[in-house]
Every structure is written in C-alpha cells, then in structure tokens.
Copies of this chain bind each other. A is one copy, B any other.
Amino acid sequence: MTQKKYFEDFEKGFRHQYQVPGLTVHEIKEFATRYDPQRFHLNEDEAKKTHFGGLVASGFQTQLKCFEPFCRQILAGTKAVGAPGIDSLKWLRPWHPGEQLDVNIVLIGKRLSSKRDDRGYLDFKLEAEAYKTMTLTMKWVVIMLTRDGNA
C-alpha cells in the first residue's frame, strides 16, 4: 500500500496538469436538472435567445469536473482533512458541449497552522482553459496533516 503524503511532502510551486473531456449535451442537462435549473443549461432553444448563443454547462459543473481529477489523482493519496473554503472562483467564459479543458493546478502558498501543530494549509490555484482561452480559475485552501505533528 502506498504511503499517504503529508504537508511536508508538498513544495510551493508543485504543479499538476490534466485534460478534462468535453461534456455531452445530455450530461449538461442532467446536472442542471439536479442542481442548477436555468434555461441556458436546460434547453437549446432558450439558450440560443441568450448571449450564450447555445447550451452551456452550469458553472458548478465546470468547477466539479475540473476539481475531480485532482482529488482522485493527488488529494486522495494524502493526509488532507478537508478545506476551510474557496477564496475566489471566476467563470471567465461559458463551457460549451464537447470542449476539452486543459487544467493546470499550482501550489501557490503553504503555512503551518498557528493554533494546532499537527496540520498546515496549502493554497492551490486551478486554471482551466478551452482552446487556450481561460474558462475558470479557482483559488482554494486544503488542510493537511503534518508528519511532524502526527509522529
């Protein structure tokens, strides 16, 4: 069994990249029906009447689809214990059906907790581009146990 990574195992500047496959129209409508039922996520004809010009994914679906591979490929192999929040999330352009996203995640900062010596905070920035155009950015914080404080 692979050893889980601790706070100390991540250096500022750590980078992780991957592609997110384009969504189908069905996937966009299914997600929107459950979580974000607005007309430009649900109905092509209604969407064409808006400035989007056609069906686009819920911004929350874009957020989740960009986050999930990072969680599966990196976070799940660590001693991460949750997150206090998101500092900033920007939807810079809509995500249209079939567009692949190129995701780039960088560790932009890290610091030990001032209250508890068994954990620290990792500041991540995620950028997702479609055809070299920035589509979503997200800055958020992950809490991770320290090896030192959990020996």
Binding site for B on A (CB under 8 A): 34-40, 50-52, 56, 59-60, 63-64, 67-68, 71-72, 75-76, 80-92, 94
Contacts of A91 in B (CB 8 A): 82-85
A36 pairs with B87, CB closer than 8 A: no
Q: Given contacts A35-B68, A36-B67, A36-B68, is CB(A85)–CB(B76) below 8 Å?
A: no
**Could you tell me the distance in whole angstroms from the C-beta of A119 to the nearest C-beta in chain B?**
9
B81 pairs with A85, CB closer than 8 A: no
List the B residue with the shortest CB-CB distance to A4. B39
**Could you tell me the distance in whole angstroms from the C-beta of A72 to the nearest C-beta in chain B?**
6
Which one of B51, B72, B76, B90 contacts A39 once the chains associate, using CB atoms below 8 Å? Answer: B76
B59 pairs with A83, CB closer than 8 A: yes
A36–B68 Cα gap in the complex (Å)?
6
Q: Given contacts A67-B35, A67-B36, A68-B34, is CB(A84)–CB(B76) below 8 Å?
A: no
